[in-house]
Amino acid sequence: MKKLTVTGTLIVMLVLLVTLAFTTTAAAQRVVKDWFVMTYIPDDDYAVPWPLPVTPIRGNGVSFDFYSSPDRAMLIAEIESYPQFQRGKLTGKTLLADIAIEATPGATFNYYDNNTGGSPTGGFVRLYFNKVNTPGCEPGWHPKRPDCEAQYWWSNLVHIDLVDLAALGSKGTTLEVPLDPASWSDRDGHMGTDTTSNTVNHIEAFNAAVANVKKIGLSFGGNGWWAFGCGVDEPSTATFKLYKFMAK
């Protein structure tokens, strides 16, 4: 077998470097395409959150900067490009998210209070998922259609306050929640184990959502407004980082 010449070796190394760079760039582009941060913007008078781009970080994670106003509401991914999240594959699994906040030392946060329109101090992050849209359920809140509200689920018991997450620094923490109905509540506030409704079997609704997940991610809010948005108090700055989101 012939040895490579110096020139040949350099050519091979160049090809490998180009291939590595292309692969890394492609992976970063895939992450940016899949994830977006739902953000309230002035263009529509903050009526509904809009999907804005995130920033790729090393290891196929993503990040975004908090605004000073409580407008960053959710970090969401479409699951079509993730084999582990395909429909029917999440039943009996656990969702995990490795997260962190890098912020100005002593930073405090705020959240949107839908009752007052104010932005009191506080805010937390928790896991979220929703199912494929039920026929007849239009976008928006439908208090007269609890079956529509049972499409959207938040980790009820597991969350972390943003100020506590920021105090952990770049190492962050892991949110880990089993996909069982006792750990989640829907957009109307019903637990997955709720049996008080005359119109919706919430256990069945939760299991159907898990079997037909469309979007997964994290939500930001405070008090009873779990996905109405959070911000960082001026003059501090803060960057939220999602290192990994997976099912096991």
16 within a domain of the structure (yes/no): no
73 within a domain of the structure (yes/no): yes
pLDDT in tens, 129-176: 998 777 666 666 656 676 778 889 999 999 999 999 999 999 999 999
203 within a domain of the structure (yes/no): yes
Rounded distance between C-alpha atoms, residue 194 and residue 208, angstroms: 15
pLDDT class of 6 with cuts at 50, 70, 90: very low
Q: What pLDDT is recorded for position 51?
A: 93
Total domains present in the chain: 1
151 within a domain of the structure (yes/no): yes
113 within a domain of the structure (yes/no): yes
The answer on pLDDT for 52 being more than 90 is yes
114 within a domain of the structure (yes/no): yes
Residue 241: give the domain boundaries.
36-247
15 within a domain of the structure (yes/no): no
